[in-house]
């Protein structure tokens, strides 16, 4: 079933059929009708591969999520859902790529979850293929469109919340990964301390694997080794869930005995008690913005996009005044 078959039946040339499909306004109504009848009769279905080859447009965006990243992670899911919403409006499909192999059946790339080394790699990869690239994070790279959460600001805000509630002995449980957000959140934490005149040296920072067990173990250690600490900032909500379990297990109350804050805000609130005060990362929105940015590029935009999205505090039930 090709344009040719339809053309033959309708008694026109194939290009006229193509026009009826792609720009019907260019075809005289009488002819158009004739062609449409033929299209219907033959139940014509276009071959998008052939169109892609001829027009150099495929209608697919590749979302690159390295194989090391767990797809079922809510962070990833919300990100992908945001992308999906925007792309479907623009008649783009998207595919999820887990590695950078020879294929590149797409018009452009969105990437997330990259380690620093991987940024150079995908930059080269997309350049070789002459396709635009937009990134979640890594805003330090001048030649790539990037959008990120302002991790430093978020960490600072939430640490300040602890301080404002009278906590002078605070601690941070951070993630054991070579990613910017780790450093940025640690930086925000330190800045909040310094601005409040608290010596960061006196405020422990524990490194843990980013899962519930990691948070649990770190908090357990913290309770034993630093009994003076009254407020804890966990670099992720996942860590915070583990930490909360450890606190309760130790027979302490949240927030009466220990105040706890997290970072992510991806819906755990419905599931955990007490609800942990946290920083909401607008991941869904960032997915949307990145998709919009990429589409703008595909439509010819030359504007370099660099955005730092300020996160919001979500105040819940896990912070109390010291001795209050």
Partner DNA sequence: TGGTATAATGATAGCGCTATCATTTTGTAA
Partner DNA sequence: TTACAAAATGATAGCGCTATCATTATACCA
Q: Which of 23, 102, 201, 299 binds a copy of itself (CB under 8 A)?
A: 102
Could you tell me the smallest distance in angstroms from the CB atom of residue 303 to a copy of itself?
27
3-state SS of the chain is CCHHHHHHHHCCCHHHHHHHHHCHHHCCHHHHHHHHHHHHHHCCCCCHHHHHHHHCCCCEEEEECCCCCCCCCHHHHHHHHHHHHHHHHCCCEEEEECCCCCCCCCCEEEECCCCHHHHHHHHHHHHHCCCCEEEECCCCCCCCEEEEECHHHHHHHHHHHHHHCCCCCEEEEEECCCCHHHHHHHHHHHHHHHHCCCCHHHCCEEEECCCHHHHHHHHHHHHHHCCCCCEEEECCHHHHHHHHHHHHHCCCCCCCCCEEECCECCCHHHCCCCCCEEEECCHHHHHHHHHHHHHHHHCCCCCCCEEEECCEEECCCCCCCCCC
CA separation, residue 71 to residues 63, 64, 97, 112, 194 (Å): 12, 11, 11, 11, 38
C-beta closer to a copy of itself: residue 116 or 253: 253
Q: Choose the stretch contacting DNA; rule: CB under 7 A; options: 8-16, 82-90, 129-137, 271-279.
A: 8-16
Could you tell me the smallest distance in angstroms from the CB atom of residue 246 to a copy of itself?
13
Tell me which residues in 15-74 interact with DNA (CB under 7 A): 15-16, 18-19, 21-22, 26-28, 30-32, 46-47, 50-51, 53-56
Judged by CB under 8 A, does residue 80 bind a copy of itself? yes
Judged by CB under 8 A, does residue 19 bind a copy of itself? no
Judged by CB under 8 A, does residue 298 bind a copy of itself? no
Could you tell me the smallest distance in angstroms from the CB atom of residue 207 to a copy of itself?
21
Q: Which does 200 bind (CB under 5 to 8 A by kind): DNA, a copy of itself, none?
A: none
C-beta closer to a copy of itself: residue 67 or 315: 67
Judged by CB under 8 A, does residue 88 bind a copy of itself? yes
Judged by CB under 8 A, does residue 103 bind a copy of itself? yes
Q: Which of 13, 22, 41, 95 binds a copy of itself (CB under 8 A)?
A: 95
Q: Which does 176 bind (CB under 5 to 8 A by kind): DNA, a copy of itself, none?
A: none
Q: Which of 45, 197, 251, 302 binds a copy of itself (CB under 8 A)?
A: 45
Q: Which does 257 bind (CB under 5 to 8 A by kind): a copy of itself, DNA, none?
A: none
Q: Which does 2 bind (CB under 5 to 8 A by kind): a copy of itself, DNA, none?
A: DNA
């Amino acid at each position: 079933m090709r344009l040719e078959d339809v053309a033959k039946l309708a008694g026109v040339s194939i290009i006229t059929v193509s026009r009826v499909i792609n720009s019907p306004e260019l075809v005289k109504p009488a002819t158009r009708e004739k062609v449409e009848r033929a299209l219907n009769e033959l139940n014509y279905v276009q071959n998008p591969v052939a169109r892609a080859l001829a027009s150099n447009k495929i209608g697919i965006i590749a979302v690159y999520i390295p194989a090391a990243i767990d797809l079922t992670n809510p962070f990833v899911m919300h990100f992908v859902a945001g992308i999906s919403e925007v792309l479907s409006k623009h008649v783009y499909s998207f595919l999820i790529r887990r590695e950078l192999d020879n294929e590149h059946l797409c018009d452009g790339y969105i990437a997330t979850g990259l380690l620093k080394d991987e940024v150079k790699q995908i930059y080269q990869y997309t350049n070789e293929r002459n396709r635009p690239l937009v990134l979640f994070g890594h805003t330090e790279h001048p030649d790539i469109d990037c959008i990120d959460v302002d991790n430093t600001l978020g960490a600072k805000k939430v640490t300040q919340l602890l301080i404002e509630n009278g906590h002078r002995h605070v601690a941070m449980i951070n993630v054991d990964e070579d990613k910017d957000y780790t450093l940025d959140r640690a930086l925000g934490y330190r800045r909040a301390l310094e601005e409040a005149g608290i010596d960061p040296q006196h405020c422990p920072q524990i490194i843990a694997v980013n899962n519930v067990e990691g948070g649990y173990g770190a908090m357990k250690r913290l309770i034993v080794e630093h009994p003076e600490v009254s407020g804890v900032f966990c670099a992720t909500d996942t860590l915070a869930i583990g930490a909360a379990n450890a606190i309760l297990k130790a027979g302490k109350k949240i927030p009466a005995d220990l105040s706890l804050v997290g970072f992510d805000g991806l819906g755990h609130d419905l599931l955990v008690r007490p609800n942990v005060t946290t920083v909401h990362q607008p991941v869904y929105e960032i997915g949307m913005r990145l998709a919009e940015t990429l589409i703008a590029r595909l439509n010819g935009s030359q504007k370099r996009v660099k955005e730092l999205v300020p996160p919001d505090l979500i105040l819940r039930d896990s912070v109390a005044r010291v001795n209050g």
